[in-house]
Amino acid sequence: MTSLMHTGNVPAAETSEWDMETDTETVSKLEEIGTATLPILESLAERLPTLEGAMLCTADGYNLCALGLESYQVGRLAAMTSTMFSVSNGAIDAITSDDKEATPLEQVTLKSGDSQYMIYPIQHDQLGYLLMSMWAQEITLGEFLMEAKISARELTRLVQIEDL
C-alpha cells in the first residue's frame, strides 16, 4: 500500500439515503466518533502494510470515517457494508434453532483470491451498531483477524467513553 487517503466525515447526503432530520446531537456525536476513529484506522494501516482501506460507518450506512477511499466511493461502500451486516445477521437468525436465541454477529469475513474483506460490528448504547470494515491484499486470515480484533477493541473502548 502506498498511501491511504482519509476521506473524512463525508456528509450523509453524499453517503446514504439516511435522513437524520434535525437531530443535531446525534450528528455531533457521530462526527466526534468519526474524528476520534481516524488515529485507530491509521494505526491499523501502519501495522498492516497490505491494508488497502478501512471505514467506520453506522448500521444505517452513514460514513463516520474512511481511509483509502476516494470520496465518490465512500457512500457505496458504507451502503454495502450496512447491507452485508444486515444480510449476515439475517442468515445467523435463520440458522439458529427456535429453542435458542441467536447470539450477536461477531464478524463478517469475505475472501476472493488474494483479497480479504472484514466487518466488525461494535455496539454503541445510544447509536446501535457501528461497523468497522477493512480490506487488504496478500494477508493470511489469521493475521487479518488478529489486527482487526486489536482495532475493534480500541474502537469499542473509544465508543464506550461517555463523552462520545
> What's the residue count for the chain?
164
Q: What is the DSSP letter of 22?
A: T
* Cα 48 from Cα 45, distance rounded (Å): 5
**15 three-state secondary structure:** helix
**Neighbour count for residue 2 (Cβ, 10 Å):** 4
* Cα 64 from Cα 54, distance rounded (Å): 11
- What pLDDT, on a 0 to 100 scale, did the predictor assign at position 160? 78
Q: How far is CA 22 from the centre of its chain?
A: 24
- Write the pLDDT tens digit of every residue in 76-111: 999 999 999 999 998 988 888 777 777 788 999 999
- What pLDDT, on a 0 to 100 scale, did the predictor assign at position 47? 94
- Averaged pLDDT in 10-residue chunks for the chain of 164 residues: 45 42 76 92 94 95 94 94 94 82 86 94 88 95 92 88 57
- What pLDDT, on a 0 to 100 scale, did the predictor assign at position 10? 42
* Cα 29 from Cα 20, distance rounded (Å): 12
* Cα 93 from Cα 103, distance rounded (Å): 9
- What pLDDT, on a 0 to 100 scale, did the predictor assign at position 3? 44
Check: CATH 3.30.450.30 for 12-95+102-160? yes
Domain positions in the chain are 12-95+102-160
- What pLDDT, on a 0 to 100 scale, did the predictor assign at position 162? 52
* Cα 122 from Cα 76, distance rounded (Å): 20
- What pLDDT, on a 0 to 100 scale, did the predictor assign at position 9? 46
* Cα 94 from Cα 75, distance rounded (Å): 29
